[in-house]
Amino acid sequence: MDFSVLALRSAIASGSLTSEALVQESLERIRRLNPVVNAFSQVYEKEALEEARACDRERAEGRLRGPLHGIPMGVKDLFFVADRLCQRGSAAYSNFAPKATAPIVQRMIDAGSIMIGKTTTTEMGWSGSGCSDFYGPTRNPWNLELTSGGSSSGSGAALAARMVPFTLGSDGGGSVRIPAAFCGIFAMKGSLGRVPAWPWSATEMLSHAGPMSLSAKDSALLFNILKGPDPRDHQALPDDGADYTAPRSLGSLRVGFVPGLFGFSVAPEIERVVREAVATLSTTLGIDIRPVVLDWQDPIGIFETLWVAGRGVAYGAQADLSAFGSGFRGLVEASARYDLADYLAAAKARAEFAGSVHALFEDIDLLLMPTVPVEPFAADREAPEGFTSPSEVLAWTGWTPFTYPFNLSGNPAASLPCGLTANGLPVGLQVVGRRHADALVMAFCQQAEDHLFQNKIPPLVVAGGKAGWGTPSNPTAEISSCNSTGEHS
């Protein structure tokens, strides 16, 4: 079955596919693959089937709820859904059930989608791997020994394993783009405020919400549904009025390419795949892609202050520290190093760094680079083995130096799958646009994907879930914990 949102939408609307059959297929894939991938933390089988049957009755009567009528979705377990557990990947919130639903979830439900379950995340979305003390590691469908990336770990893995047609994720430092790159799917972090985010986050100046899907074409439709203000998010942008699915000429685009940032070394296979993809796009799209030299200083210190101080103080004041996993507990403890002067200095430095990013886009329209400079690593680690991070607390920022800068600046940034390494692992091409130019980034990605990865499927899925990698994940079993250095404790 084709799990493209656009294809499923047409099939359900025409009556050639029932929502019940689609939800049954999704549930069957979850039953078969989730024991080894560990993408879903909760599955609402009975409720999803009831909603699917209701959608089929309504379609038979000539009524469609919206453009996603009867299509199932996975929801990252950081998003509130009324009266459903929102465990946030943490024992501290294992029994927490909010009374209201986040706008990103409600808009999808209003458009006709059916929530099939909650997907795994790192604790409070704190890190970039799929390692979780609470759920167990989320594994990469391309190789079950390896991480899916995070913090939208389950959302990325569920898509790659074709468990659902789309998912919802959040991105405070790369959390939709990292799993998109590692799992061979598409995700875009829109401009800050493009999709309303609620409830309030202690790192609201960094935090974005949005869809994740198998293709940019699917995400274009999903962004059309999600964008626009909500009164609960004071940072939310007005609707830009653009139809993200509309074709657009790319001939006059000024596109820059940078092979890396801040002197970080890029794995040879990542560099090869990305350079080949850039060369392909220059030829097939008929655009001039020119090298760019950037003299930006690594803003890791700015990001770490905002991330650690904000999250550490906010969450540390709400719960018993012993209920947190070792990695997040270390973050909370480290927040005591910072005072108000540190925080305000970081806020000022963030504004200055963002200004340098925005100045670049006076000369170019889009910037291309690798999404992540490393290949996926062991599923039970926070960082590649032998890796040394410049951050004492956030090991993941050391191997994600190309994602968090654009959270600081608020620019739209997408990860587009662009090829496979010699090890058969996906590589992400990051496409960054000027602030508020979300429609342009999406238009470029929709045309680019026709010439690159072309929706390749992991061997695990091709083999029907019988690929012999790794061991089953069991979120209810006793597991080894992961700390910020990637060592077991």
Q: How confident is the model over 242-261, as pLDDT tens digits?
A: 999 999 999 899 999 999 99
Give the Cα separation of 455 and 417 in Å (integer): 8
CA–CA separation, 168 and 26 (whole Å): 16
Give the residue carrying structure tokens 């002067």.
Answer: 341
Residue 399 pLDDT greater than 70, yes or no = yes
Q: Is the pLDDT of residue 476 over 70?
A: no
CATH code, domain carrying 258:
3.90.1300.10
Cα(213)–Cα(244) distance, rounded to whole angstroms?
15
Residue 392 has pLDDT above 60, yes or no: yes
Rounded (10°) CA dihedral 210, 211, 215, 219: -70
Per-residue pLDDT averaged across 449-458, rounded? 92
- What are the DSSP E strand ranges found in 21-141? 40-43, 72-76, 114-119, 139-140
In a domain, 118, yes or no: yes
Q: How confident is the model at residue 470 (pLDDT cuts 50, 70, 90)?
A: very low
- Whether 365 maps to a domain, the answer reads yes
The predicted-structure confidence for 306-333, as pLDDT tens digits, reads as follows 999 998 888 877 767 899 999 999 999 9
Greater confidence, 478 or 305? 305
Distance CA 459, CA 331 (A): 37
Residue 488 domain flag: no
Rounded Cα–Cα distance for residues 293 and 258 (Å): 7
The answer as to whether 474 is a domain residue is no
pTM of the model: 0.94
**Going by DSSP bridges, is the β-strand pair 426-433/413-420 parallel, antiparallel, or unpaired?**
antiparallel
239: number of Cβ within 10 Å: 11
- Report the distance separating Cα 34 and Cα 27, nearest Å: 10
Domain range for residue 195? 8-462
Q: Which residue has the tokens 């299509």?
A: 71
Residues 331-390 have pLDDT tens digits of 999 999 999 999 999 999 999 999 999 999 999 999 999 999 999 999 999 999 988 888
User: Which pLDDT tens digit goes with each residue over 62-104?
Assistant: 999 999 999 999 999 999 999 999 999 999 999 999 999 999 9
Q: Is residue 481 part of a domain?
A: no
- According to the model, what pLDDT value does residue 489 have? 28
Would you place residue 478 in the very low, low, confident or very high pLDDT band (cuts 50, 70, 90)?
A: very low
Model confidence band, residue 280 (pLDDT cutoffs 50, 70, 90): very high
Number of compact structural domains in the chain: 1
Tell me if 67 sits within 8 A of 13, measured CB to CB. Answer: no
CA atoms in the 13 A half-sphere facing the CB of 1: 24
pLDDT (0 to 100) of residue 465: 56
Q: How far, in whole angstroms, is CA 368 from its chain's centroid?
A: 18
Residue 468 lies inside a defined structural domain of this protein: no
475 to each of 215, 228, 377, 479, how far by Cα in Å? 29, 36, 20, 8
- Any domain includes 2: no
> How far apart (Å, rounded) are the C-alpha atoms in residues 83 and 42?
13
**Residue 14 predicted with pLDDT over 70:** yes
pLDDT greater than 80 at residue 487: no
Residue 462 phi, psi (nearest 5): -60, -35
Residue 397: which residues within 8 A CB-CB, separation 6 or more?
128, 173, 300, 303, 304, 389, 390, 391, 404
Which residues fall within 8 angstroms of residue 50, CB to CB, at 6 or more apart?
A: none
Cα–Cα distance between 4 and 164 in angstroms, integer?
10
Answer positive or negative: Cα dihedral of 188, 191, 192, 193. Answer: negative
Q: Per the omega criterion (within 30 degrees of 0), is the bond before 151 cis?
A: yes
User: What pLDDT is attached to residue 314?
Assistant: 85
Q: Per-residue pLDDT tens for 216-239?
A: 999 999 999 999 999 999 999 999
Please determine, for residue 472, whether its predicted confidence score (pLDDT) is greater than 60: no
Q: Residue 471: pLDDT above 50?
A: no
Question: How much is the mean pLDDT over the chain?
Answer: 93
CA nearest neighbour of 394 among 267, 310, 297, 303: 303
Query: What is the arithmetic mean of pLDDT over 13-42?
Result: 98
Rounded to the nearest 5°, which phi and psi values hold at 397? -70, -20
* CB neighbour list of residue 69: distance below 8 Å, 6 or more residues apart: 9, 12, 13, 19, 55, 58, 59, 111, 112
pLDDT digits over 118-173, tens only?
Answer: 999 999 999 999 999 999 999 999 999 999 999 999 999 999 999 999 999 999 99
Structural domain includes residue 473:
no
Counting every residue written for the chain, the total comes to 489
Which residue type is seen at 222?
L
